[in-house]
Chain A
């Protein structure tokens, strides 16, 4: 199948020697794209999108087991965990839907039991409409989980001071939003994202709000170490093609950041020299 061939070629490329690596809490990743598993219409599409994205770290949620569920979760065919195991990815459990530090801490502990990982993408939501983080609860939960030995990656607002507080507590990375979850509005405050990059020594993973590939490239150009996408891929008209686009965008943005962009100027600066330009018409000769 043509699609599968394309994916396998890209997979080899992702593990090419000499590629710059991302290290979070001592673990090395060759992909700077984190993928959320939410919103994919089928596990088959999820599996194909993971392969196309090259992502090695994917989020997973914990929810009540529904005994009537026969599709994605259990019953016929492969389960979500089967698909993720086959993909060879590391799981990053999230605490999505938690509104208090207490609930988030308990969810993280349950995730550790369920998935045998200390890693957690810590989300503590403070508002139902915007799904913006609740900063005081987030700090409280982060502190407690770090005390319990968790590797904490907090979903945070694009506030450089809050990001620094989280890093100072011992978070393994910070995950500032570009704009609200699932909004696709891109990076509303690029200036703050640059300030966050300067404010902390841990990896900065732009999370939430990415709408399309140019948003992911911008995140990397601003100095982010990685980008996390979920809805932008899973709800795209062609999730697998968008996963491929995001992968290329993250690489392009990373390369551009390293290359050093030109400064912005108000007026044009000619790239072709004026010297030696031909003169047409009846102006005076140069030696007259």
Chain B
């Protein structure tokens, strides 16, 4: 089980961040997107390769009006 933006998803350990992005309708070239896994930033260069661990908490963030 992987937690994606605060919600349990049916993603499994071993899937990549690119797969998580795809579930949100994004590809790895999406502009203005950043990803954290378990409280650490994951650079864009690792989105295709980094495999998620079981119970990983993935945050996919993007630009929002604010401030």
A residues within 8 Å of B by Cβ?
A: 36-40, 46, 59-65, 67, 72-74, 79-81, 92, 94, 96, 106, 109-111, 113-115, 121, 123, 230
**Closest partner residue, chain B, to A207 (CB atom):** B67
Given contacts A64-B59, A65-B26, contact A110 B65 (CB under 8 A): no
Q: How far is the CB of B66 from chain A (nearest CB, A)?
A: 3
- Residue B28, interface by CB 8 Å: no
Whether B65 contacts A39 by the Cβ 8 Å rule is yes
* A40→B66 CA distance, assembly (Å): 9
- In the complex, the answer to whether A80 meets B24 with C-beta atoms within 8 Å is no
Q: In the A-B complex, list the 7 residue pairs whose CB atoms are closest, starting with the nearest.
A: A61-B66, A59-B67, A114-B34, A94-B67, A110-B34, A63-B64, A113-B34
Q: Which residue of B lies closest to A82 (CB)?
A: B31
Q: How large is the interface on B (under 10, 10 to 19, 20 to 34, 35 or more residues)?
A: 20 to 34
- Cβ-defined contact, A61 with B31, below 8 A: no
Q: Is the CB of B64 within 8 A of A80?
A: yes
Q: How far is the CB of A271 from chain B (nearest CB, A)?
A: 45
Q: Which of A79, A121, A123 contacts B63 (CB 8 A)?
A: A79
Taking beta carbons and an 8 Å cutoff, which residues of B are in contact with A?
5-6, 23-26, 31-36, 39-41, 43-44, 59-67
Q: Are B66 and A37 in contact (CB under 8 A)?
A: yes
CA of A65 to CA of B21, assembled, Å = 10
Q: How far is the CB of A242 from chain B (nearest CB, A)?
A: 17
Interface of A is mostly: mixed
Q: Using Cβ atoms and an 8 Å threshold, which residues of chain A touch B5?
A: 64-65
Inter-chain contact B39/A37, CB cutoff 8 Å: no
CB-contact partner of A37 in B26, B62, B67, under 8 A: B67
- A61 pairs with B41, CB closer than 8 A: no
Are A61 and B59 CB-contacts (below 8 A) given A110-B34, A110-B36? no
Instruction: Let me know if A106 and B65 touch, CB within 8 A.
Output: no
By beta carbon, the residue of chain A nearest B39 is A106
Q: Which of B34, B39, B59, B67 contacts A36 (CB 8 A)?
A: B67
CB distance from A46 to the nearest CB of B (A): 7
Write out the residue numbers on chain B whose beta carbons fall within 8 Å of the beta carbon of A121.
67
C-alpha spacing A68/B31, complex, angstroms: 18
